[in-house]
Amino acid sequence: MISQIVSAVGVVIAGVFVCALYYWLSDKILQAVFPVPVDNVRAASVNLNRRATVRPWLFLGPALILLVVYLVYPVVATFILSFYDRSGGDFVGLANYRWAIQDAQFRQSIFNNILWLAVVPAACTFFGLVIAVLTDRIWWGNLAKSLIFMPMAISFVGASVIWKFIYEYRGGTETQIGLLNAVVQAIGGNPQVWISLPFWNNFFLMVILIWIQTGFAMVILSAALRGIPEETIEAAVIDGANGWQIFWKIMVPQIWGTIAVVWTTITILVLKVFDIVLTMTNGQWNTMVLANLMFDWMFRGGGDSGRSAVIALVIMAAVTPIMIWNIRQANKEMGGH
Amino acid sequence: MSAVASLRRVGLPRLVVHLSVLVICIIWLIPTLGILVTSFRDAGQIAASGWWTAFTGAAETSAARLGDPSTAKQNGATYVITGSVFEGGKGGAVRAFGTRVAAPTEFAVGKAADLGDGETLTINEDGSYTYSKNAPFEGRGKRVYLSVATPPSFTTENYRTVLTSQGIGQSFVNSLTVAVPATIIPILIAAFAAYALSWMEFPGRALIIALVVGLIVVPLQMSLIPLLKMYNEIGNFFGVPSRSYAGIWLAHSAFGMPLAIYLLRNYIAGLPREIIESARVDGASDFEIFVKIILPLSFPALASFSIFQFLWTWNDLLVAMVFLGTGKDQLVLTGALNALLGSMGGKWEILTASAFITIVVPIIVFFALQRYLVRGLLAGSVKGG
């Protein structure tokens, strides 16, 4: 174990050193290849220009290589693989797509993903907004925000253990040690095996993600609320608006843009939800979602890259509109620079 | 005064706000508190009572056998057996007792209970009892069932167990081995790229920026299959294991790269033009400008991103499952916890202690560096992404 720590530290130092060395050395080589002689103004200016042409690509090089190898190429390759058989050897046309449309588990996953998309972003944004408004009005608001924000630091796996303990069920006459069942029993209900109740178990899994992501929505929306010009509120107060009207008619319309950003960010996260389902149910009891089904087919029976690729493409198709919107926004911003 | 502060004058009564925030905070904290408390409880108590009773002590049902009829003493017309129900066992405080397993709280302590057939039984809180009958006792010692309040018992034994025999200690080191290089390498690479995209003129710059923004949201799932194939081929070709630390460092670096470049470019592009131009006039090369001016000035943005990347790599399960082996020396904490959930089903003393070890590092990072995290979140989402 000690040797592993030493080698990890060594790698960190070596890695940083190699990276730094690359940038430093490539710059030195560039200067050596295109020298700037002091006695020849023309040659000097030509070489300075050449350096300026090459240098950005030296700076960008490692980043571009990583992006192309790990993201751009795989997107293209996954698209192509979706038309091939399980090992990626033979072209099978649309067979994988036809399989997906008819597969019951795939349909179940689509249904569950839509359910997640309908509930989680809305719930996180709603709770986030309410908590942001409430905590901005009390002196210990920052402490409260910290506590609600904290689950963001917890891994999905850790959060799953935390909530599995809450949903714990004990059979027979044993004492219920899961908080939910103890509460249900205390108010006179019957304890349930919550995570295997078909359909409703999806919601018990969603609670975990809502618990984690509400803090994110709260932080972003709180910043947006603070950015609202005070005059707009004062004018409404003078006109006799009450708190409820001010919130819905003055404050919310002014932060629509931020609400949209929070909503889309959580939407992307929900489309990729994997860890929670894997650790809580592994897709059993009708809780399968696309990311888990995709992972399942990557390894099931030695792996089926064709079917797996089709499922990945469905997730990709779902985020594409958001991607295009983001690129447009970024271009607009730079245009105004 | 902010807009929200002026809303205060017309809003709900103050007390309602305080109370609702308090309730929300409690709801948000209880789940984490549950595993924290449980991880320090004795394994037997975890299974016997809810963690919320940990500090008050819990009532457990236990059985005891009263003294043998041969130990009875005759006292006039009655025969009496005395002793303690805790003889040869652990102590505690008796809350109630009964003669049937289904009703261990039938009789109150300290008062004589009429058991019929001329028998009476008195059990005191400290366990001492008096059992009397108006005729000689027969057969074996009588069996009684007790509701015993056990004092709260806390232990660090669970942590010792998971750190040593369950391999969580080793996984902790593995997680660090993954997360630290996977945080530092992408920052350096992204910072150089962000500088080039902010302050250098070259054809195709706008296109690359658009590409980076687009790649931020590409789901990881799109990359997994081709990369797994690629890693296997490289492994076969060079005769090295296809799943290695080097492989996962590069994978994490690449997956974090779009957001890193985007965040850092936003920040670096906003630095004052005069500083960079006056340095250029003084004859500094781009490399020198970057190292001596840009890097120190960008510290807040670098800190924000490194927190993101660290939390993401530490908490990741999917990338580790695909690109890193499941052997003892490569299993990361999230993977180990997932495996324990499968093999240690109801053993909450193991699961809660392991879970807490898994989440303690990110929580410390979170509370120590929350300021930078919030700043990064705001830069990443409010501006446009």
Q: Chain B residues with CB inside 8 Å of A133's CB? A: 4
Spell out the domain ranges in chain A. 2-81, 95-335
Q: Chain A residues with CB inside 8 Å of B381's CB? A: 220, 258, 261-262, 265
Q: State the burial class of residue B197 (Cβ atoms within 10 Å of its Cβ: 0-12, 13-18, 19+).
A: buried
Measured between CB atoms, which of B213, B317, B333 is closest to A275? B317
Q: Chain A residues with CB inside 8 Å of B314's CB? A: 155
Quick one: pLDDT at residue A270? Answer: 92
Quick one: pLDDT at residue B384? Answer: 35
Tracing tokens 């630290």 back to the chain, one arrives at: B180
Q: State the burial class of residue B383 (Cβ atoms within 10 Å of its Cβ: 0-12, 13-18, 19+).
A: middle
Quick one: pLDDT at residue B235? Answer: 87
Long-range Cβ contacts of A192-198 (<8 Å, 24+ apart): A193/A169, A194/A167, A194/A169, A195/A164, A195/A167, A195/A280, A195/A281, A195/A285, A195/A287, A196/A281, A196/A284, A196/A285, A197/A285, A198/A285, A198/A286
Tell if the CB–CB gap between A71 and B218 is shorter than 8 Å. Answer: yes
CB pairs under 8 A between A and B: 379
Q: By the 8 A CB rule, do B148 and B59 touch?
A: yes
- Give tens-digit pLDDT for B134-170: 888 877 778 888 777 777 778 888 888 888 877 888 8
Residue B1, pLDDT above cutoff 60: no
CA distances from B66 to B93, B108, B146, B256, B334 (A): 17, 17, 12, 69, 51
Residue B383, pLDDT above cutoff 60: no
- Give tens-digit pLDDT for B319-359: 998 888 777 778 899 999 988 888 877 788 888 999 999 99
CB atoms within 10 A of CB B335: 21
Q: By the 8 A CB rule, do A319 and A266 touch?
A: no
Distance CA B326, CA B6 (A): 56
> Residue A124 — pLDDT band, cuts 50, 70, 90?
very high
Determine which helix (DSSP H) or strand (DSSP E) holds B78, and give its type and residue range: strand B78-84
Mean pLDDT of A258-287: 89
- Lowest model confidence (mean pLDDT) among A45-54, A226-235, A279-288, B53-62: B53-62
Write down the mean pLDDT value for chain A: 87
- The SS3 of residue B116 is strand
Tell if the CB–CB gap between B3 and A225 is shorter than 8 Å. Answer: yes
Tell if the CB–CB gap between B177 and A4 is shorter than 8 Å. Answer: yes
Please tell me if residue A20 touches chain B, with a CB cutoff of 8 Å: yes
Q: By the 8 A CB rule, do B110 and B122 touch?
A: yes
- Give tens-digit pLDDT for B242-265: 888 888 999 999 999 999 999 899
Longest Cα–Cα distance in chain A: 96
Please, which residues have CB within 8 angstroms of residue A24's CB and are 6 or more apart in sequence?
B287
Tell if the CB–CB gap between B32 and A319 is shorter than 8 Å. Answer: no
A 200-229 near B (Cβ less than 8 A)? 211, 214, 216, 219-220, 223-226, 228-229
Q: Chain A residues with CB inside 8 Å of B28's CB? A: 147-148, 150-151, 211, 214
> Residue A131 — pLDDT band, cuts 50, 70, 90?
very high
Q: Which two tokens stand for residue B6?
A: 């002026």
Residue A139, pLDDT above cutoff 90: no
Q: Chain A residues with CB inside 8 Å of B283's CB? A: none
Mean pLDDT of B3-10: 55
Quick one: pLDDT at residue B11? Answer: 55
Mean pLDDT of B63-67: 78
- Give tens-digit pLDDT for B14-44: 788 888 899 999 999 999 999 898 888 888 7
**Residue type for B57, please?**
G
CATH of domain B159-381: 1.10.3720.10
Mean pLDDT of A122-142: 90
Spell out the domain ranges in chain B. 14-54, 58-150, 159-381
CA A102 from chain center: how many Å? 29
- Give tens-digit pLDDT for A317-333: 999 998 998 888 888 87
In chain B, DSSP finds a helix count (H) and a strand count (E) of 16, 9
Write down the mean pLDDT value for chain B: 83
- Give tens-digit pLDDT for A181-239: 888 888 888 888 888 888 889 999 999 999 999 999 999 999 888 888 888 888 888 88
Distance CA B40, CA B34 (A): 10
| Bridge partner list, B107 | B97
Tell if the CB–CB gap between B28 and A147 is shorter than 8 Å. Answer: yes
Question: What is the percentage of chain A residues whose pLDDT exceeds 70?
Answer: 99
Q: Chain B residues with CB inside 8 Å of A278's CB? A: 317, 338
Give domain A95-335's CATH number out of 3.40.50.720, 1.10.3720.10, 3.20.20.70, 1.10.1740.10.
1.10.3720.10
Rounded to a whole number of angstroms, the distance from the CA of A162 to the nearest CA of chain B is 6
Tell me B68's DSSP state: P
Mean pLDDT of A20-24: 85
CB atoms within 10 A of CB A93: 9
- Lowest model confidence (mean pLDDT) among A54-68, A158-172, B129-143, B360-374: B129-143
